[in-house]
A = this chain, B = another copy of it.
Amino acid sequence: MRPKLNDVAREAGVSPTTVSRVINNHGYLSEKTKNKVFQAMKKLNYQPNSIARSLHGKQTNLIGVLFSSVSNPFFGELVEKIENKLFKSGYKTILCNSADNKEKERVYLNMLIANQVDGIIAGAHNLGIKEYEKVGLPIISFDRYLSSTIPIVSSDNYLGGVLATQELYQSGARKIYLFASSHTPNSPTDKRRTGYLETMEKLQLEAHEKVIASTMASSVKALMIKQILSTEQIEGIFCTDDLTALIVLQQAKELGIRVPQDLKVIGYDGTQFIQNYHPELTTIAQPINDMAELLVELLLKRVTDEQSELKEHYVLPIKLIRNQSSSQFM
């Protein structure tokens, strides 16, 4: 049986009250007693039962972190950063991978409530606004509108779309396609798309959109992309995520389409992983670390003070990382 506060008191030869005082550094305490208690705690390997403490109206220091999947490097890196920053502030992360499953997301939301988490960082958004509003807990959303009371953190998706398109144009491409991973209004991808469309219009070029659904198996994506590449004359492709861009590079190679000579490709996300292991890929890098930091900071602000006034939308700058896959070829 795990030792309790009373066991520590007995071991240290003091009253339970004193032990509690030592733990919470509350009231008058002599160094001598403190030491006695600390030693007893160490000897018994005592850890205050945070369940009991939480029940007493205190915080649980648990934060629900809800994303669709951590096996995607982008979310993996983001979640890792979030977890790190939460840890530094003394909070624990309950990981929730909704796998784009509405039902799972709903069950998770209820679980989190039942577990009395202090707040939620939500990056998986298959549920309606209502369900999130019903939660009644501090929530910060990553990259999607949930409700007017839930602040959003995102990077500048629109500018990303603009820059990506301009980059392809400037490196010589004219027939520029958009490979979008989905097509839902209110989704970040959509603003990247808007950036693309408006820029194409300004450039007086015809827009071409292909939806490469993120739910498809990657082999299916590959097939689909191969099909497109082999039938259409394309000079530049803006993929709304890096992984799709990788498949494009792969398929282009198989078809003997040279990158960047015949085809220029630009991705989106710019994870550390992509930068390290695919330094050839031009991409729009989201500030993963800053986003994680802001998400945590805003959430903890709300957790500490429910009334704290937050903006509705925080947009962080993106950065074009220019590499060989989009370089001008002479």
Contact = CB atoms under 8 A, between A and B. Distances in A.
Interface in A84-110: 84, 87, 92-97, 99, 104, 108, 110
5 contacts: A62-B94, A73-B76, A79-B95, A83-B95, A84-B99
Nearest to A95: B95
A219 interface: yes
B104 A87 contact: yes
A69 interface: yes
A218 B277 contact: yes
Contacts of A62: 94, 115
B92 A111 contact: yes
A96 B250 CA distance: 35
A185 interface: no
A250 B277 contact: yes
A71 interface: yes
Given A83-B95, A84-B97, A51 B54 contact: yes
A77 interface: yes
Interface in A31-64: 45, 47-52, 54-55, 60, 62
A116 interface: yes
Contacts of A50: 114-116
A94 B52 CA distance: 18
A272 interface: yes
A219 B62 CA distance: 36
A86 to B, nearest CB: 10
Contacts of A73: 71, 73, 76, 273
A80 interface: yes
A115 B65 CA distance: 17
Interface string A1-27: 010000000000000000000000000
A95 B67 CA distance: 13
A71 B76 contact: yes
A70 interface: yes
A48 B279 CA distance: 50
A97 B79 CA distance: 10
A247 interface: yes
Contacts of A243: 277
Contacts of A97: 80, 83-84, 87
A273 B99 contact: no
Contacts of A99: 84
A115 B92 contact: yes
A80 B71 contact: yes
B276 A218 contact: yes
Contact of A2 (B83, B136, B273): B136
Nearest to A111: B92
Nearest to A90: B111
Contact of A134 (B45, B71, B76, B96): B45
A252 interface: no
B71 A273 contact: yes
A113 interface: yes
Most chain-B CB neighbours within 10 Å: which of A71, A83, A104, A219? A71
